[in-house]
Structures are given as structure tokens and as C-alpha cells.
Structure 1
Amino acid sequence: MTETAARVHDLNLYRQYFDLVASGRKTIEVRVKHPHLSDLAAGDIIRFRIKNTDEVYTVLVKRVTEYADFEALLDGEGPANVNPTATRDEQLTNIRSIYGPEKEALGALAIQIERRPAP
């Protein structure tokens, strides 16, 4: 049997969300269904980086679920898993300030992650 190496995806993350991932408090990452993420799957690795820094945190993708929009995603995944420091409405406002309506129209991805310290 041949094993294939996990695919590695490099993604930027804002400091506040990076810290929540690194602490284990954030277990669902929200992304727009951009073409470069269409092949993201369980078993892949994500290296989150704070833009313009050397700070990186590595996670394992456990599951990827597609939703029609951010509201459906928050309802399906539970706001506390996305950001335990903000209410559902605050999160919806924050996510939509990052991704405009034209991006949300592409669909939303809920990426369940598991912490993996960098080697």
C-alpha cells in the first residue's frame, strides 16, 4: 500500500484568531469557497501565518463542510466553535467585514481543525 503525503495549505490569519487557534479554543475556521481551497480535505495540513511575520501555527484538517452562507455556517457549527469570545451576531458582522457579499456568494467553508505543534 502506498501512503500519500498530506497536502499543506498556507493561509493567513488575523492575530486574534491565530491566538484562539493556538490556544485550542477555536476549532472551526471559516473561509470562503475560493477555487484554491476546493481540494481542501480531511487529513490535510494548514499552516496559519500572521501576515508579514514569521509566526506560524500548524493544524490538521479533520473535516470540511460547505454552507450556502455565513449564517448557515454559524448555525450549523455553533458560534462558540468559531470564536468563543464573540456572540453569533458579532461574528457575522466580523466575518462579513472580511468577506464582502460577492465573496459570501461563493459559499462558506467550515474547516474543523485540530492543533498540531510545528515540528
Structure 2
Amino acid sequence: MTGSPAERELHLYRRYFDLVASGAKTVEVRVKYPRLADLAAGDILRFRIRGTEEICEVKVKRVTGYPYFEALLDGEGAADVNPTATRDEQLAGIRAIYPPEKEALGALAIEVERTREHG
């Protein structure tokens, strides 16, 4: 890696924010948008609930690309993505957030670890 780790802010829904903040959710799912193409291990993410000052900071441990969400859940294991929902529930939830044209861009599994308390 060249230079300093990148720092970014991304929004999360409350239910996912709470899981990341508690350490129960260790893999965040995102569409493979071009703006995330250079996301790498060591980068810092600040997850924020839109419209609030609540932040949960994490360090990226790994970024893995998948062609679609089902492959991501199969490759990562549903429990690390959301330990409170079944694989089928997660797939439905992810697809409710990201329509087919977004999923067609590919999927990213971002393995994270907490760096400090949120608030």
C-alpha cells in the first residue's frame, strides 16, 4: 500500500449500525461502485446513521469482490454479514436496498473490526 490509509464516511441503517457497533457484524455488504474501487485493508470507515451524529469507526481488514449478492453470502457466510437473520432474509434485505441494476455492478464484502466506541 502506498501512502496513508484512506478515511471514508458511509451511511448505515440503524439495525446494521447497531450490529457493527456491537461487533456482531464483521462483514459489510456494498455494491462495487467505482468510488469504492480503491478501498483496501487498513483503510478507516466511519459508519454514520443519516441525519445523526452517531458514528461507528472501523478498520478495513479485507475487501473481496463477488459477481452478485448470493455468491457473497455463500463465500462469506451469512452469520458474519448479519447474525440476526437467515441467509434468505439477508438476501431479500440486501436486494430491497440495492435493485438489480446496482447488483449487476458486482458486490463487495468488506471485513471490518471496531477501532473505538461510537457516540
Normalising by structure 2, we get a TM-score of 0.95
Q: How many residues align?
A: 117
Give the equivalent residue in structure 2 for 1:74: 73
What SS is found at the alignment partner of 1:106?
Answer: coil
CA RMSD after TM alignment: 1.3
Equivalent residue letter for 1:44: D
Taking the aligned partners of 2:117 and 2:33, their CA distance within structure 1 comes to 26
Counterparts in 2 of 1:12-91, with a 5 A limit? 12-91=11-90
Normalising by structure 1, we get a TM-score of 0.95
Shift of 1:87: 0.1
Identity %: 68
Taking the aligned partners of 1:114 and 1:39, their CA distance within structure 2 comes to 19
Equivalent residue letter for 2:58: V
Shift of 1:118: 5.2
Large movers: runs of 4+ above 2 Å: none
Counterparts in 2 of 1:103-118, with a 5 A limit? 103-117=102-116
Give the equivalent residue in structure 2 for 1:101: 100
Which segments of 5 or more consecutive residues in structure 2 lack a partner in the other structure? none
Which segments of 5 or more consecutive residues in structure 1 lack a partner in the other structure? none
Equivalent residue letter for 1:41: A
- Deviation by residue 1:44-99 (Cα, 9 ceiling, x = unmatched): 00000000100001000000000000000000000000000000000000000000
What SS is found at the alignment partner of 1:52?
Answer: coil
Kindly indicate whether the alpha-carbon contact (under 8 Å) linking 2:7 and 2:44 is maintained by their aligned counterparts in 1: yes
